Amino acid sequence: MESPVEIVQHTAGGVIGASWLMIAFPLLGAFILLVFNRFTNRWGHLLGVAMSLASFVVAVLAFFELLGLGEEQRRQAVHLYEFIPGMVDMGLLIDPLSISFALLITGVGSLIHIYSIGYMAHDEHRRRFFSYLNLFVSAMLLLVLADNYVGLFIGWEGVGLASYLLIGFWQFKPSAATAAKKAFVVNRVGDFGLLVGMFIMWTTFGTLTFSQLGEEVGKGASNGTLTAIGLLLLLGACGKSAQLPLQSWLLDAMEGPTPVSALIHAATMVTAGVYLVVRSGAFFFPEGSAQALAVAIVGAATLLAGAIIGCAKDDIKKGLAGSTMSQIGYMMLGAGLGPAGYAFAIGHLITHGFFKADMFLGAGSVMHGMNDEVDMRKYGGLRKYMPLTFVTFIVGYLAIIGFPLLSGYFTKDGIIETAVHHQPVLGWLAVLGAGITGFYMSRMVFMTFFGQKRWAENAHPHESPAVMTLPLIILSIGSIFLGGYLILSNTLMDFLAPAVGAPEVRPEFHPFTTPGLATLALVAVGAAYAWMKYGKAEVPAVQPRGSFLTTFARRDLYGDAINESLFMRPGQWLTRLAVFFDNRGVDGVVNGLAAGIGGSSGRLRRLQTGFARTYALSILIGAALLTGALLLVGTI
């Protein structure tokens, strides 16, 4: 492997020097919208969009400035200020990896901002919604742009907060409030891992800056330490990216408004885990090490689990959420394969950002036209009523199942090929996952856009306004072409090489390899089976009971049940025990002591008779005793 190039300190001004503006713009937007509150109600959403677009413009300019530099110069550290004196200098790292993320976040983020103008038009708290979106964009940019783990962690918590606020945006719904809390709690587990990982880094290497950590690790460190850090970082990544075993919050997170699901819980935030693993590549080296293998295994397990869950969901958003889990599983699998897989993982991340946002926004558009109905069994035959939504959704669908020549085909195939090459077992599991993907995504399309109408009586499906369809069109264009552009002739790999290193063997794109063909065949079989079951045949309006496997999938593979029996119930027992102990033991001792003191005081206070002569008597007795004592001491 070629190691990444050295990070150079950015000296000249230019856009890279001012790249902190990317973070500052949306932060300012969130600040204004939150502080000036109701006064910004009329134009708040426009300000939010403007701030996001401004951030996007800065990102694009920085990107081109970076392209203008030589390859050796492409890792620019921008020092901002001394954050914790003597420990952490806050700075930004502008390199191909972070700028790719910044472009994705600000680009897709801006589109979703625009879409939300239409989607949230009738919500009286639209201004608040935009303030949270801006807050999210700002935090996410800090996460990917920071040149040290502390900054990354601040952004990490910031997006967690924004995610919490946005999942629970309709807080009057108990389910939304609970889902928000669940996301927050599960994420804490992951954050704990990340924090402890950072602690170990600090005590072992004495720094938290990416560049210095790279040098220190290069000088050598014990395998045990690296494994520990790697596994802890993986725990953090699992929490944020909803990977097994911390996957349970993502499906519930769909309680939030659909643009939130698209932006945070599909395109950007949930991919932060992948970013963390790739950015911390130094700790996952070499690719065969335990921690890297763990990443790959988690990815493979999650991609299957997500796909299986996706097969059984009737809620269109939850189906997409399962699919998101599954696709992030692919990315994790790629990230676990070392530099060979990094480019594909990031590529899949970017294309997934486009096609999944496209489909989520499409789903949002469908819901918008169907009175916020999410049950796919109440859709059917919508292609005639929402042509634009239908076409863009189909594009996203084809991209995700890996239809040849669309974005997802190149990136996912790249991951599968690399996986089969490096970890054959996991690779073939990924092939199987691709087949299942073909089934459940087809099922979704057939149930929604084909077949008979199964609408509720008051449904009047209609196409969404232009402000919502325009982002759909732009995203679907990205879903078609982006993958080919990034993967064919290794554009992305060469671009990322300065940041994450490049594999020793440059992969060539071969369309007709065994795993590739097998994937295509399985996808075709899956799609055909879905057509048989949901396209041609009548879809029952009420959910049938289903087999054991269906129930298994519907219950999210019993993830919640496991959490409940493994953590919640023992926790409750522990709490009850503590309460009992507190009531009987601690309170008993404390109350007994208080009662004892109170009782004896009640008796002792009788000594205070109020008669001055009694007090004088005690004084004289005391004086006599003192004299006696002095005498005794004197004679002894």
Partner 1 sequence: MTTHYLILSGLLFAIGALGVLVRRNAIVVFMCVELMLNACNLAFVTFARQVGNLEGQIIAFFVMVVAAAEVVVGLAIIVTIFRTRRSASVDDANLLKY
Partner 2 sequence: MGETITFWVLAVVSVGAALGMVFNRKAVYSALMLGTVMLSLAVLYAVQDAPFLAAVQIIVYTGAIMMLFLFVLMLVGVDSSDSFVETLKGQRFWAVIAGIGFATLFVLAVGNAVFGREAGLAAATGQGGYVRSIALLLFTKYVFAFEVTSALLITAALGAMVLAHKERLTVKPTQKDLSRARFLGDRPSPLPGPGTYARNNAIDMPALLPDGSVAESSVNRYIARYDVEQGHLPDDPKLAEAIKHTVEEGSEAEGTNEVTK
Size of the site for partner 2 (CB under 8 A): 15
Please list the residues that pair with 315 across neighbouring strands. 375
Q: How many C-alpha atoms does 442 have within 13 Å on its Cβ side?
A: 24
Please list the residues that pair with 76 across neighbouring strands. 8, 94
- By a kind-dependent CB cut-off of 5 to 8 A, residue 628 interacts, out of partner 2, partner 1, none, with partner 2
Please list the residues that pair with 94 across neighbouring strands. 76
- By a kind-dependent CB cut-off of 5 to 8 A, residue 631 interacts, out of partner 1, partner 2, none, with partner 2
Q: Mask: binding to partner 2, 175-204, rule CB under 8 A, as x and -?
A: ------------------------------
Give the nearest distance from C-beta 579 to partner 2 in angstroms.
52
How far apart are the C-alpha atoms of 338 and 418, rounded to whole Å?
Answer: 10
Scanning the structure block, which residue is given the tokens 């996986």? 419
Residue 542 or 612 having the CB closest to partner 2:
612
Query: Is the link from the previous residue into 245 a cis peptide, with omega within 30 of 0?
Result: yes
How far apart are the C-alpha atoms of 510 and 413, rounded to whole Å?
Answer: 10
Among 372, 510, 606, 635, binds partner 1 (CB under 8 A): 606
Point out which span in 63-71, 346-354, 453-461, 605-613 binds partner 1 (CB under 8 A).
Answer: 605-613
Point out which span in 72-80, 175-183, 503-511, 613-621 binds partner 1 (CB under 8 A).
Answer: 613-621
13 counts as binding partner 1 under rule CB under 8 A: no
Q: Is 423 helix (H, G, I), strand (E, B) or coil?
A: coil
Q: Mask: binding to partner 2, 114-153, rule CB under 8 A, as x and -?
A: ----------------------------------------
- By a kind-dependent CB cut-off of 5 to 8 A, residue 608 interacts, out of partner 2, partner 1, none, with partner 1
Q: For residue 153, how many other CB atoms are within 10 A of its CB?
A: 20
Give the nearest distance from C-beta 575 to partner 1 in angstroms.
44
Element (H, E) at 249: helix 248-252
634 counts as binding partner 1 under rule CB under 8 A: no
Give the nearest distance from C-beta 633 to partner 2 in angstroms.
11
Query: Is the link from the previous residue into 286 a cis peptide, with omega within 30 of 0?
Result: yes
219 counts as binding partner 1 under rule CB under 8 A: no
Residue 571 or 622 having the CB closest to partner 2:
622
611 counts as binding partner 1 under rule CB under 8 A: yes
Q: Please list, in sequence order, all residues whose beta carbon lies within 8 angstroms of the beta carbon of residue 54, skipping any fewer than 6 positions away.
A: 21, 25
46 counts as binding partner 2 under rule CB under 8 A: no
Give the nearest distance from C-beta 627 to partner 1 in angstroms.
10
Amino acid (1-letter code) at residue 576 = R
Token pair in block for residue 55: 């951030």
512 counts as binding partner 1 under rule CB under 8 A: no
Ranges of beta strands (E only) in 474-581 are: none
84 counts as binding partner 2 under rule CB under 8 A: no
Q: Mask: binding to partner 2, 563-602, rule CB under 8 A, as x and -?
A: ----------------------------------------
122 counts as binding partner 1 under rule CB under 8 A: no
Please list the residues that pair with 81 across neighbouring strands. 90
Cα–Cα distances in angstroms (integers) from residue 240 to residues 118, 156, 222, 536, in the given order: 29, 8, 27, 39
Helix ranges (H only) for 370-490 are 387-401, 407-422, 424-449, 466-487
Among 70, 608, 634, 636, binds partner 1 (CB under 8 A): 608
525 counts as binding partner 2 under rule CB under 8 A: no
Return the C-alpha torsion angle 330, 328, 525, 510, nearest 10: -40
Question: Which among 73, 74, 70, 133 is positioned nearest to 100, based on CA atoms?
Answer: 74
630 counts as binding partner 1 under rule CB under 8 A: no
Q: Mask: binding to partner 1, 563-602, rule CB under 8 A, as x and -?
A: ----------------------------------------
Q: For residue 452, how many other CB atoms are within 10 A of its CB?
A: 10
Among 38, 42, 219, 605, binds partner 1 (CB under 8 A): 605
Q: Is 81 helix (H, G, I), strand (E, B) or coil?
A: strand
Token pair in block for residue 449: 């856009």
Please list the residues that pair with 559 across neighbouring strands. none
Point out which span in 71-79, 254-262, 473-481, 603-611 binds partner 1 (CB under 8 A).
Answer: 603-611
Give the nearest distance from C-beta 607 to partner 1 in angstroms.
8
630 counts as binding partner 2 under rule CB under 8 A: yes
Residue 42 or 603 having the CB closest to partner 1:
603
Size of the site for partner 1 (CB under 8 A): 11
Give the nearest distance from C-beta 629 to partner 1 in angstroms.
17
Angle between helices 339-369 and 316-335 (to 10 degrees): 170
Token pair in block for residue 473: 């069109």
**Contact assessment for residue 353 and residue 271, using Cβ atoms and an 8 Å cutoff:** yes
Among 616, 626, 630, 631, binds partner 1 (CB under 8 A): 616
Q: Please list, in sequence order, all residues whose beta carbon lies within 8 angstroms of the beta carbon of residue 513, skipping any fewer than 6 positions away.
A: 417
Residue 220 or 602 having the CB closest to partner 1:
602
Residue 122 or 613 having the CB closest to partner 2:
613
**Contact assessment for residue 169 and residue 125, using Cβ atoms and an 8 Å cutoff:** yes
Residue 596 or 622 having the CB closest to partner 2:
622
The dihedral through the CA atoms of 26, 32, 33, 39 has a sign that is negative
- By a kind-dependent CB cut-off of 5 to 8 A, residue 634 interacts, out of partner 2, partner 1, none, with partner 2
- By a kind-dependent CB cut-off of 5 to 8 A, residue 605 interacts, out of partner 2, partner 1, none, with partner 1
Q: Which of residues 609-628 bind partner 2 (CB under 8 A)?
A: 609, 611, 613-614, 617, 620-621, 623-624, 627-628
Return the C-alpha torsion angle 97, 98, 102, 108, nearest 10: 40
Amino acid (1-letter code) at residue 401 = I
Q: Which of residues 208-227 bind partner 2 (CB under 8 A)?
A: none
**Contact assessment for residue 333 and residue 299, using Cβ atoms and an 8 Å cutoff:** yes
* Residue 43 DSSP symbol: T
Q: Which residues bind partner 1 (CB under 8 A)?
A: 605-606, 608-613, 616-617, 620
Residues at the contact surface with partner 2, assessed by CB under 8 A: 609, 611, 613-614, 617, 620-621, 623-624, 627-628, 630-631, 634-635
